[in-house]
Amino acid sequence: MGPPAETDLYRDTWVRYLGYANEVGESFRAIVPISLVWASYGVATTYVTADAIDKGKKAAVCPCSPCSLCCTHQAHEHDVGKTTQVAVAVVDTFVWQALASVAIPGFTINRICAASLYFLGTMTHWPLPIRKWMTTAIGLSAIPVIIKPIDRSVDFLMDSSLRKLYGAEEKHPPS
């Protein structure tokens, strides 16, 4: 049995939930100032960027770290192949996270909430504040339902397009 796997701060801890901040913001759009919704996108985008930087740093680390005088990887900072590996790690992580954690789920929750507010307005005689809170509850409850299908769809999209350019099919971040 090998050494235990290193805990990934951005995938294996509570920090992962920061990537869902914009979905929460979209769920509350009907009852909070729009500036708070945009702030939630700032939190999620910061998470995505930090994860991409982290994956780039991990790709830049010499496999025999820490390097010693006997290491054949001493010049890895200047190695074009290493630079490409780092760039691929950063781009792949950033694009995947931007799509799977920010853009697609944010749009999805926004449309679910807009549709629910509309239908609650046409199908009920509830007061507007109650309809808005119901819309928020619907949006929040949809978040766990949409995550896996969106992640898998983004995996397929990336494997079918961008990853073919740099030969990284099936090497997507764990969800």
Q: Which residue has the higher pLDDT, 172 or 13?
A: 13
With bands split at pLDDT 50, 70 and 90, how would you rate the model's confidence at 166? confident
Q: What is the mean pLDDT of the chain?
A: 87
Q: Is the confidence at residue 150, as pLDDT, over 90? A: yes
Inter-CA distances, 138 with 94, 108, 114, Å: 29, 12, 10
Determine the structural domain holding residue 104 and report its residue range: 14-165
Question: Is position 8 within any domain?
Answer: no
Question: Is position 172 within any domain?
Answer: no
Question: Is position 6 within any domain?
Answer: no
pTM given for the model: 0.82
Q: Is the confidence at residue 14, as pLDDT, over 80? A: yes
**Tokens 């914009």, located at residue:** 22
Evaluate whether 149 touches 105 at the Cβ level (below 8 Å). Answer: no
Question: Is position 7 within any domain?
Answer: no
Question: Is position 112 within any domain?
Answer: yes
With bands split at pLDDT 50, 70 and 90, how would you rate the model's confidence at 170? low
Distance in angstroms (rounded) separating the CA atoms of residues 158 and 99? 10
DSSP 103: I
pLDDT of residue 70: 44
> What domain count does the chain have?
1
Question: Is position 74 within any domain?
Answer: yes
b/e string for 12-34 if b means 16 or more Cβ within 10 A?
A: eeeebebbbbbbbbbbbbbeeee
DSSP H/E element including 78: none
Question: Is position 92 within any domain?
Answer: yes
